[in-house]
A and B are shown apart, each in its own frame.
Chain A
Amino acid sequence: MANGVQAVPDARATTELVPVITPGHSFVSVTEKISKIVLRKDTPIGWFLLFALTLGVSGLLATSLGYLVFMGIGIWGNNQPVGWAFDITNFVWWIGIGHAGTLISAILLLFRQQWRTSINRFAEAMTLAAVACAGLFPLFHTGRPWLAYWLLPYPNTMGMWPNFKSPLVWDVFAVSTYLTVSALFWYTGLIPDLATMRDNAKSRIGRRVYGLLAMGWRNSAYHWQHYEVAYLLLAGLSTPLVVSVHSVVSLDFAVSVLPGWHTTVFPPYFVAGAIYSGFAMVLTLMIPIRAAYGLQDFITMRHIENMAKVMLATGLIVGYGYSLEAFMAWYSGNRYETFMMWNRMTGPYWWSYALLILCNVVTPAFLWSKKVRTSVGALFVISIVVNIGMWLERFVIVVTSLHRDFVPSSWGRFSPTIWDFSTYIGTLGFFLMLLLLFVRFLPMISIFEMRTLLPSAKVDEAHGHGH
């Protein structure tokens, strides 16, 4: 597959293997095509409209969070016994979405999946935006967010460490590491392209800003050597993170004694779910962007179909997780576990469980069909359904487990308030706003890596300089 591009000179000649880059492109045309999106003077009006919209929704987020800090968590619907609800549901959902980035960038890089090249930059940016949104929730869902830094181990006059036994502390490490490494990885990958942008920029400001960001990249072999080593190292660093972050997030639940949370299957099941939702979100975003910016040459049906295949595979794992959960609840013979599962399926929140199965298990079954996998419209719809389903999954885990636990006298229910919704919708707006800024100001596809995919990039070793 690695040399698929060269083996098949004419993509249209075969249906088996659509190329990762449409033939006919040269170094210059690739650079031109990608950098022009950023460097063009006439920003499309659609961009402005969308940006204004998402900026407004981000304002809603700022308002919601401001009011939250001013009034307290009570503006949300959380209560006793449902101490966590939308807050942690959204946190896990966003973190899950953030998973696609690292997976595509790191693991697929190490596996030498060349098709990752045209989507990794975007997926990484999406990861960063998603993790930024995710990070808001654990911070702001605390009763006293101005003291949330107490979760960090830092020397202090109180002589206190955080409680290293608490999964929430593990969370802090996992998420902050993930954010740091993802940001580094993304930025490192951007440097050569930033230099390209600097060189191609027409405006003074553009040259200055891109120049600063490019950190003096001069395309020297030295730079390339350091770059390659660093990038590979970061890929190596990121790889365990793909597994660790969501495993740790799942431990927030699995470590507890609560039926429905206290489950050993959670780490792998959460990781699969995260990749599932991550790819769904990449598809949801890629499909319209690809059309809007005419990037069909670089993001070909090959990419789309591969992502659909990953979704299908992870969706099956997630479905397996659901059935295992139900089976273990029954098989354990534990009265609390059995009740929890029964309550999930038939209790007051039965509709959320039913919808979850519909969205996450039934819908992705359509992906078995190649026709669906290669239909952009169908995939767009399915990816959105999967995103909804994955949100519901976290809602089901968080809320339906909490609302009826051990002592029946303390059973209760949760219903969200307008502020629950505004905070959630606000993060969606913030997320999209960050991505809009990204596609406007940074090359959303790695220019230099795309160039390496061109047939002309293949260096004949015999003619090489030998270094």
Chain B
Amino acid sequence: MTQDARELWRSLDELADDPAFRERLHREFPTPVEAVTDPLERRSFLKLMGASLGLAGVTACTKQPVEKIVPYVRQPEEVVPGKPLFFATAMPLGGAGVGVLVESHEGRPTKVEGNPTHPDSLGATDVFAQAAVLDLYDPDRARVVTNVGEIRPWPTFLATLRAALAGQQRLRGAGLRILTESISSPTLSAQLQGILTQYPEAKWHQWDPAGRDTAYSGARLAFGEPVETLYQIDRADVIVALDADFLTCGPGSLRYARQFAGRRRPSEAERMNRLYVAEAMPTSTGARADHRLPVKPSEVDLIARQLAVAVGVAGVPTGGSFAGTAAEHVSRWIAAVAKDLQGHKGASVVIAGPSQPASVHALAHAMNAALGSVGTTVVYTEPVVTSPVDHSESIKDLVADMTAGRVDILLMMGGNPVYSSPADLTFGAAMAKVPLRIYYGSHDDETAGQSHWHVPQSHFLESWSDVRALDGTVSIIQPLIAPLYATRSPHELLAVFSDTPEKSGYEIVREHWIKTTGLGRPDDESDATPEFESRWRRWLHDGVMEGTAFAPRAVTLRADATAAAAALSGSGADIQFRTDPCVLDGRFANNGWLQELPKPLTKLVWDNAVIVSPTMAQQIGVETSFSYQGGERGQTLSEIVEVRYNGRSVRGALFPVVGHPDAVVTVHLGYGRRRGGSLLRGAGFDANAIRTSDALYVGRGVEITRTGDGYSLACTQGHHSMQGRGMVRALTKEEFLRHPEAVHEGFESPPRTLTLVPEYKYEGYKWGMAIDVNVCTGCNACVIGCQAENNIPVVGKAQVLRGREMHWLRVDQYHRGAPENPETFFQPVPCQQCENAPCEVVCPVNATVHSHEGLNDQVYNRCVGTRYCSNNCPYKVRRFNYLLYQDWDTPSLKLGRNPDVTVRSRGVMEKCTYCVQRINEAKITSEKERRKVRDGEIQTACEAACPTEAIVFGDLNDPQSRVSRLQAEQRNYAMLADLNTRPRTTYLAVVRNANPEVGA
């Protein structure tokens, strides 16, 4: 390059302009465009890429080692691994049994269903039957025989007892006392009778903290004999319940609920029955009433008497009247009810509750007789329990004998009397005087702690026995599993009194029935004939003994049946003792499922409370509020109050309940347990501490004083107003018949055509659910059924306080009207399985996806736990495992899990699946048989448990399916339909059969 002399140069290098300089210059200063050349050829690049990809694939092929496992060496008959078997048995509770079918997976009972052929089940179950599996696997159960806490072999116990009995032999058993609960097992009562024959001076006492002995006393008062009272609710047009929670509480309630619901379908409006309830503490039955009258429990007697007079019962002492402004309403209520009853003679029924005194029961009997209901809606039979006695008298006698030192051997069979007996009897102190105290019970509880010997009790799912249903039908209780621990059935325990102490429960029960049926071999009574063998098999298979129901009995009302009055004396507020809807009298206090079950009408869990009306709470000066922690859906802040009654006192948290009458305090039994498990400690207070034998259910003169100590109650629903959002829609029968479309008025439902993309066609099955809130009693059987079926964990009170309970299915509760006596609605809310599911679009990892049958499938092992789906779920049915809630370690709990459902770990979201495991099971079966799934073949766990058939699941593509027909009803509506989520779960509106004469 030649240099222009005029050009400026900066350095000698530049002037020289040699190649080295140019090179440096080139590196230092950019030229406008530079060509980029690729040294690697395209072909060789592709070759290399192909080879490396191929090599990458080869490395992934590692051979997995083959490991063989040994299946059954001898496979039991009919056991196919992975296929559950169902066995019929029965659950004894409260002096009667409920027939159940128990699902067994490879010999492990996992789930209880109702037995459709059993008269007290009709296919349904209550919460206690549903939770029975957890009781069986309760890790806190007593496992071995102990003598004052020391483990002893069975022969040692046997020797001790037999030595003591030898001493009684010559006393003719004068020092022997046996304390049991109500017994309706024919075999057990035969055994007891045998002992009493052997030891004629021995005494058998009974104590049920809240049994049905008042009902028997009432019958004794009315008819002179303790007959059983059975109601035919399906034949009743008008039902009056006097402090009777007959729909959800006590033996027979499942059948009554079914019969009641059968006549609540507005599609058959003329058959709809009408229910009147007078009660204090609001109950499920009261919530379903067409007219509920909140009264003091002590006033029920007065109402019964006035009602009896109004329906024409003679010889009823009047006296007493209602005071105040409510008096007019009460008398109008009574007049209207009486008129309604008389208008349906022979098709009406008056039911008195077991916590009412005998006189009220007698009045109810008299009214039923006067109304011509005996033989139609009321049937009398011989009593189901063996020798019904007044339990309070019975235990009083025992305590008197013990105090006087007349008892040498005390055998207590269950019932935990030290905890559950009335406070004034000081059972524990009296018992200390007995030289040999034997407690037979399932847990090392308060009574076991004060006994010399504790013999652990077998669960009914691991023992042979028998039990009568309320109508007398006998079911053989057969075990689903060999006893998990060294426990014994009651028959095996009582066998120690006989000369064959080691006889098994199986032999005892069978021999009893061989003897009873007379089907033994002539040469050896204990050996069965083939005829007995085939009957026995049939009994076990069916779960009922056909033809063992008691025949109706004719009874005559005594002239002085209604003469007694049970008015309480004294002044002040009433106190009412009731069994807890979840833990009953405390026997289920160590059952986590039941402890964490929101109680109907209070929605409390893990606690009982001192329940008063909101007005009374205000008078006391206690204001409840919601904590910021958990709030309405978890934590209600209350105050501990002292309840003083009859010189005794107890401290518990105050909780106001709407619909509860003023000047009444309701306390529930079953809490404040001190021993017998790890879950029951610290839960609630012991109402037995102020319960005395003279006022087991109702007393007067209770005082409440504030203590100023705060208390956190775990309450899963604190807000009971629907805010005009139409969750539950309700109208009266007249309104419904006049204008059925009123159900939908005021609530928008976007047309299905309002979409940009063509609608997905659900070929094949299209699952859906219809829930009739009109017949839902809020009994919670579905909730526990769901929990048992789907391995849902228990989280504990502390987590519920934070608003983290895990139920996939909850029962929402709403009130409408004045807080003194509101209407109450229950609404079971499972996943709504929306067709336009808001949860699905927001999940970042596709962990919740839509199936071609319309289910919102939740894929647990794909879920990373962002919780966005839950935030976006308008129904808030999703549940998140905030901590490791599932017990992964306790071996016994593992046995009880459903192997068909994933056990979730922490950090994942879970929710109702419509029991997809059951759907798939039925689909596989149907495909093998080359047919479609039949309607009703799939029952979701909630549907199966429901006593009132309020929940119906099925295929919406089949126009004849029950669910299709229900969803086609005018009452059918979708919750929050205006969001266009198109839920597959829909609801049927409440239609009340109101009597215009009652007034508001």
Contacts and interface: CB of A to CB of B under 8 A. Distances in A.
A83 B868 contact: yes
Interface in B129-183: none
Contacts of A48: none
A160 B30 CA distance: 48
Nearest to B979: A257
Interface in A339-368: 339, 348
Contact of A73 (B629, B842, B865): B865
B842 A412 contact: no
Contact of B843 (A161, A163, A335, A409): A163
A409 B863 contact: no
Contact of A80 (B627, B862, B870): B870
Interface stretch (B410-418, B668-676, B723-731): B723-731
Given A143-B863, A412-B631, A415-B629, A79 B727 contact: no
A81 B716 CA distance: 12
B573 interface: no
Interface string A121-135: 000000000000000
B440 interface: no
B799 A74 contact: yes
A81 B844 contact: no
B864 A142 contact: yes
Contacts of B979: 257, 406
B722 A83 contact: no
Interface string B856-872: 00000011111110111
A408 B841 contact: no
Interface string A402-414: 1101111111111
A412 B634 contact: yes
A166 interface: yes
Interface in B488-513: none
Contact of A84 (B805, B867, B981): B867
Interface residues of A, number: 61
Contact of B803 (A79, A161, A335): A79
A81 B27 CA distance: 65
Contacts of B720: 408-409
Contacts of A413: 626-634, 803
Most buried by B among A72, A168, A221, A348: A72
Interface string A143-157: 111011011000000
Contact of A151 (B724, B845, B872): B845
Contacts of A162: 844-846
Contacts of B863: 143-144
A81 to B, nearest CB: 5
A168 B842 contact: yes
A168 B866 contact: yes
A428 interface: no
Nearest to A401: B871
A335 B976 CA distance: 11
B845 A79 contact: no
A77 to B, nearest CB: 7
A423 interface: no
A143 B844 CA distance: 13
Interface in B688-714: none
B21 interface: no
A80 B633 contact: yes
B812 A409 contact: yes
A388 to B, nearest CB: 19
B871 A256 contact: yes
Nearest to A402: B871
Contact of A409 (B717, B803, B867): B717
A225 B866 contact: no
Contacts of B810: 409
A220 interface: yes
B866 A72 contact: no
B879 interface: yes
A220 B634 contact: no
Contacts of B727: 407-409
B541 interface: no
A141 interface: yes
B803 A220 contact: no
B874 A407 contact: yes
Contacts of A64: none
A179 B907 CA distance: 27
Most buried by B among A150, A166, A405: A166
Contacts of B630: 79, 412-413, 415
A74 B803 CA distance: 11
12 contacts: A74-B802, A81-B633, A162-B844, A163-B843, A163-B844, A222-B27, A257-B838, A406-B874, A408-B725, A413-B634, A415-B629, A415-B630
Interface of B: 27-30, 626-634, 717-725, 727, 799, 802-805, 810, 812-814, 827, 829, 838, 841-846, 862-868, 870-872, 874-876, 878-884, 906-909, 975-976, 979, 981
Interface of A: 71-75, 77-84, 138, 141-145, 147-148, 150-151, 160-163, 165-169, 172, 220-222, 225-226, 252, 255-258, 335-336, 339, 348, 402-403, 405-415, 467
Given A80-B878, A81-B871, 8 more contacts: A73-B865, A73-B880, A78-B882, A162-B844, A165-B842, A255-B841, A406-B876, A407-B829
